[in-house]
């Protein structure tokens, strides 16, 4: 029997983190599958960090990132540059992940190529096309052309059913980010594991202070949103000298500029470069509170029992809010400061938000996905 040809495509840091364990799982089944990895490199440095940690060597690298790229050019470049890859490899299945421009453009290209489209992390919705922008559109369009939907939770499956997707084409798997998280925690705890970045963090962090970890990048927060966020962080740092804020700053120039301009000279705020995945997980484990607008961090934090203030007005991840780990605080300066104060000054409020929960799975999502494709 001929092998099924599988092409796994991703382009940004979070897609890479969440697809890496799937690549590894497919690679365990070499008799059944010919698996190839294509990166669009919508991200470059932040993607390469992930590939290095998970030891993945892509078969195709479209190398598309441009400084301060725009959605029009990126979308067009991805579709055009995938054509020869799809025509030459002729995959039976194309796997995409989540809600980035890479996800949406790849699913359209794979549709043109006649491959079966498999969407990992399918069915997340806010039902607001403007928030997150353009991700709600990206995942909705991807959902339209997808043949097999791998939904992380029952809620995401229900969203797909509401959109009349056929029940038999949906599998609830858990989120592959938990597979990645467990892989990372295990690798870092192995005897003999050495990481110079973690050594650097050890000398940066003041262990006598409570650590507040911050990340942010959402497009709808660019401009005034980021100015508010920075002013809130400054206020928190000044009101709480017993805390230290550590902020690995996303490489998007729309983020770098306001953050470095507004927060560089505050002694208990440390601005650093984006961290490799294991270092970031290590830092999450060390942190007291996380303040972020990231999707992936909202999913990882419940499994680490870390309270998260989410600087967004909507979330497609209601499970983390329901279990009590995540609170939406938007980008209003005062609201961010008030909610941080509530956690820093009120032990009961802190304890309520810092319980361990696993709403996003058990770390076996990739095994379920590969078994499903094997049994087709």
Residues designated catalytic:
99, 121, 135, 217, 219, 250
Binding map of ligand UD1 across residues 293-332, x = CB under 6 A, - = no contact: ----------------------------------------
- Asked if the peptide bond before residue 46 counts as cis, ω within 30 degrees of 0, the response is no
Our finding on whether 217 is near ligand UDP (CB under 6 A) is: yes
Task: Identify which range of 205-213, 247-255, 279-287, 350-358 contacts ligand UD1 by CB under 6 A.
Answer: 247-255
Our finding on whether 270 is near ligand UDP (CB under 6 A) is: no
CB of 154 to ligand UDP, least distance (A): 21
Q: Are 154 and 172 in contact (CB under 8 A)?
A: yes
Our finding on whether 277 is near ligand UDP (CB under 6 A) is: yes
| CB proximity list for 164: less than 8 A, separation 6 or greater | none
Structure tokens at 227: 């100015």
How many of the chain's residues bind ligand UDP (CB under 6 A)?
A: 16
| Strands 60-61 and 148-151, bridge-based pairing | unpaired
Candidates 135, 179, 299, 300: give the one binding ligand UD1 (CB under 6 A): 135
Our finding on whether 13 is near ligand UD1 (CB under 6 A) is: yes
Our finding on whether 45 is near ligand UD1 (CB under 6 A) is: yes
Q: Which is nearer to ligand UD1, 14 or 174 (CB)?
A: 14
Our finding on whether 72 is near ligand UD1 (CB under 6 A) is: no
Q: Which parts of 174-213 interact with ligand UDP (CB under 6 A)?
A: 177
| Element of type H or E holding 27 | helix 13-27
Our finding on whether 300 is near ligand UDP (CB under 6 A) is: yes
CA distance linking residue 95 with residue 79, whole number of Å: 15
DSSP 275-323: PPHHHHHHHHHH-SEEEE--HHHHHHHHHHT--EEE-SS--S-HHHHHT
Task: Identify which range of 142-150, 188-196, 271-279, 339-347 contacts ligand UDP by CB under 6 A.
Answer: 271-279
Q: Are 96 and 120 in contact (CB under 8 A)?
A: yes
Q: Are 296 and 217 in contact (CB under 8 A)?
A: no
CA distance linking residue 297 with residue 315, whole number of Å: 12
Candidates 81, 274, 333, 371: give the one binding ligand UDP (CB under 6 A): 274
Residue reference for tokens 């002694």: 267
Residue 248 binds which entry of ligand UDP, ligand UD1, none, CB below 5-8 Å type-dependent: ligand UDP
Residue 319 binds which entry of ligand UD1, ligand UDP, none, CB below 5-8 Å type-dependent: none
**Residues 143, 173, 183, 351, CA torsion sign:** positive
**In angstroms, what CA-CA distances link 260 with 122, 208, 310, 333?**
35, 25, 21, 18
Residue 107 binds which entry of ligand UD1, ligand UDP, none, CB below 5-8 Å type-dependent: none
Our finding on whether 272 is near ligand UD1 (CB under 6 A) is: no
Candidates 44, 210, 342, 357: give the one binding ligand UD1 (CB under 6 A): 44
- Asked if the peptide bond before residue 298 counts as cis, ω within 30 degrees of 0, the response is no
Q: Which is nearer to ligand UDP, 17 or 118 (CB)?
A: 17
User: Rounded to the nearest 5°, which phi and psi values hold at 227?
Assistant: -65, -45
Task: Identify which range of 2-10, 80-88, 270-278, 328-336 contacts ligand UDP by CB under 6 A.
Answer: 270-278
Query: What residues line the site for ligand UDP (CB under 6 A)?
Result: 13-14, 17, 177, 215, 217, 248, 274-275, 277, 280, 294-297, 300
């Amino acid at each position: 029997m001929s092998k099924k040809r599988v092409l796994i495509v991703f382009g940004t840091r979070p897609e890479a983190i969440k697809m890496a364990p799937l690549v590894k799982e497919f690679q365990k089944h070499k008799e059944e599958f010919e698996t190839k990895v294509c990166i669009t490199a919508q991200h470059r440095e932040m993607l390469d960090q992930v590939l290095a940690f998970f030891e993945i060597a892509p078969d195709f690298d479209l190398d598309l990132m441009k400084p301060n790229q725009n959605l029009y050019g990126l979308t067009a470049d991805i579709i055009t540059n995938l054509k020869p890859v799809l025509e030459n490899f002729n995959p039976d299945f194309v796997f995409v992940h989540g809600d980035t421009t890479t996800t949406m453009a790849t699913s359209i290209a794979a549709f043109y190529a006649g491959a079966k489209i498999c969407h990992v992390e399918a069915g997340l919705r806010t039902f607001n096309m403007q928030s997150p922008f353009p991700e709600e559109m990206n995942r909705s369009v991807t959902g339209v052309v997808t043949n097999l939907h791998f939904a992380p939770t029952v809620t995401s499956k229900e969203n797909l059913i509401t959109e009349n997707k056929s029940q038999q084409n949906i599998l609830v798997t858990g989120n592959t980010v938990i597979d990645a998280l467990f892989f990372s925690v295990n690798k870092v705890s192995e005897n003999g594991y050495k990481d110079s970045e973690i050594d650097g963090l050890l000398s940066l962090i003041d262990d006598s202070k409570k650590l507040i970890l911050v990340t942010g990048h959402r497009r709808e927060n660019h401009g005034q949103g980021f100015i508010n966020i920075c002013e809130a962080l400054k206020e928190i740092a000044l009101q709480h000298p017993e805390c230290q804020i550590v902020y690995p700053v996303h490489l998007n120039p729309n983020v770098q500029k306001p953050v470095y301009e507004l927060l560089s000279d505050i002694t208990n705020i440390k601005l650093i470069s984006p961290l490799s995945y294991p270092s970031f997980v290590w830092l999450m484990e060390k942190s007291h509170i996380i303040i972020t607008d990231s999707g992936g961090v909202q999913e990882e934090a419940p499994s680490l029992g870390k309270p998260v203030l989410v600087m967004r007005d909507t979330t497609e991840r209601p499970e983390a809010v329901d279990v009590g780990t995540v609170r939406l605080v938007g980008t209003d300066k005062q609201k961010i400061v008030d909610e941080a104060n509530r956690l820093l000054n009120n032990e009961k409020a802190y304890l309520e938000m810092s319980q361990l929960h696993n709403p996003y799975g058990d770390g076996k999502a990739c095994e379920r996905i590969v078994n499903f494709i094997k049994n087709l």
